[in-house]
Amino acid sequence: RPNYVPIGVHYFFDIDHTPCDVYIQIKKGGSDIQFVKRLHEQDRFTSEDIQKYISQGIKDFYIPRDYQQYFVTFVTNSIIDKLENDLPLMDRLNTNSHSFEMVKEHIQKIGFNSETSELAEANINSMVKAIKEAPKLADLLKFLLTNKISYAYQKAHLVCVLGNFILAKQSWYEERHLEIFTYLSFFADITLKSTAQMRINSTIELENSDLSEKERLEVIEHAKDASELIKQYAK
């Protein structure tokens, strides 16, 4: 087992310090790899600082293996606290996007646990709040379509916004329907591993795609997989 484990850069967007030292990986030539410390424990940094590393091509930071669960718990709790407080709408949507990616990653790697469930709940509640607080539908759609948030979250939120807009026009609509539809939108594509899979909208598109047989099967079964996830989440 390696001494250092990779942590995606998206884990660092919504925190301003870390509970442990953080490293980057440098290849010295051949198979030699060196880990160089870039953030010290409790060092303060901004999202702009993280963006500089991204502009250099860095996709993962590294932390000592023994700190992995501690670090994930720290980030999860920090994001939950942030989402439960008042945020400008654009900041809320950005944080929603980052936490959505974390939930998706955890579900695909290890399934549900208590931390993942709590983060998903905070994210769903924040999506509901964002939809209620959005001043104009057109402004919200413009932000979702032009801002650099993940495609997976963009699609989930767009489905939720447009679905609720249609539902709200019905005579039988109640406020609880927004919460139900948000749950469905949140989990609908969360088992799919790539943007290419999420862009499939018909059987013909699936048949003409460059996806592998395994990836095609994941697309075909993703609705069933999502329903099973919601059953686990409800527990």
Give the tokens for residue 58.
């860095």
Q: Is 220's pLDDT higher than 90?
A: yes
Looking at residue 202, the DSSP 8-state letter turns out to be: S
- Please give the share of the chain, as a percent, with pLDDT higher than 70: 98
Mind listing the pLDDT tens digit for each residue in 108-122? 888 788 888 999 999
> Diameter of the chain by CA atoms?
67
Q: Is 235's pLDDT higher than 70?
A: no
Q: What is the mean pLDDT of residues 215-229?
A: 91
Q: Residue 230: enclosing H or E segment and its boundaries?
A: helix 213-234
3-state secondary structure of 35: strand
pTM score, whole prediction: 0.86
Mind listing the pLDDT tens digit for each residue in 157-207? 989 988 888 988 999 999 889 898 999 899 999 999 999 999 999 999 999
